[in-house]
Amino acid sequence: SLQSLDLSESTIDDRSLRHTEHLPLHDLNLFGTNISDRGVQHIAKIKTLRSLNIGATQISDEAIEQLSSLVDLEVFRFCATKITDKGFQSLARLRNIRQLDVSDIPVSEKSFRLIGSLPKLESIDLGGVKVTARDIEDLRSAPCLRHIILFRSELNDAELHALSELKGVRTLQLSRNPFTNNGVAYLGKMTNLINVSMLECPNVSPGAVAQLKKRIPGCQIEHSTERLLPKLFRDR
């Protein structure tokens, strides 16, 4: 039977989603489609869903409210949508979430507290979300958190100091941020790290990266200071 359905960037509309209601789907990808809250009412009836991507769609907080009935959902992606605190309140009812993508959404301090309350959260994508040290402190409440993406999140040294207290984290994606060597030094406390990406971080020197590598020898570290895309074009 059909368990996985990828309709990303397709022309599917709200009305067509009624055909998915009775499918035993575990994985549904609707990224970049024109679906709205009206179509989500059909998705909410697929009680077998474990993974759902409704990123870059027309949904609102009402959609998250409807989907909060999918109590077995483990992977939820709704990046680049217009979700607000109200939607995150509904999200907090999904206690089995392991992976969450809320990139390119304004996430408030209140919503960060709600994210931190998810007991099984292992991975979060906060790319493009402006994050403060206080926001990161709220993530300490998520005991299983191991993987964090903070790509272009305007991180400064204070935010890296807060990150260093998340001792269980294994991977960090920190590319395109303005923090300095001082912030990188704080990461040396995160001895469980196995991968850190700091591409296009102009204020971090190779020396600071070498010092971090010395403190966490088992960690793979990617680093560059230049913007990589323009460089690729220059090399052609």
Using pLDDT thresholds of 50, 70 and 90, give the confidence band for residue 229: low
- Is residue 24 within 8 A of residue 1, CB to CB? The reply is yes
Q: How does the average pLDDT of the chain come out, rounded?
A: 95
Chain segment 159-169, per-residue pLDDT in tens: 999 999 999 99
- Residue bearing tokens 């790509």: 151
Q: Is the pLDDT of residue 232 over 50?
A: no
Q: What is the mean pLDDT of residues 147-158?
A: 98
Contacts of 75 (CB under 8 A, 6+ apart): 27, 50, 51, 52, 53, 97, 98, 99
Q: Which two tokens stand for residue 57?
A: 């769609």
Over residues 24-47, the mean pLDDT reads 98
Residue 143's pLDDT band, with cuts at 50, 70 and 90, is very high
- What pLDDT, in 10s, does the model give residues 176-199? 999 999 999 999 999 999 999 999
Which run of H or E residues covers position 6?
strand 4-6
State the pLDDT at residue 1: 76
- What percent of the chain stands above pLDDT 90? 95
State the pLDDT at residue 235: 38
Alpha-carbon distance of 210 to 112, in angstroms, equals 33
The pLDDT score that the predictor gives to residue 226 is 86
- Give the model confidence (pLDDT) of 79-132 as tens digits: 999 999 999 999 999 999 999 999 999 999 999 999 999 999 999 999 999 999
Task: Pick the more confident residue, 179 or 234.
Answer: 179
The yes-or-no verdict on residue 236 having pLDDT over 90 is no
Bridge partners, residue 149, by sequence: 125, 173
Residue 227 has a pLDDT of: 79
Asked if residue 230 has pLDDT above 80, the reply is no
Mark out the alpha helices in 44-155 (DSSP H runs).
61-67, 85-91, 109-116, 133-138
Residue listed under structure tokens 């489609």: 33
Report the distance separating Cα 16 and Cα 147, nearest Å: 35
Q: Is the pLDDT score of 222 beyond 80?
A: yes
Closest by Cα among 156, 167, 175 to 221:
175
220 φ, ψ to 5°? -85, 125
Question: Among 218, 174, 169, which Cα is nearest to 197's?
Answer: 174
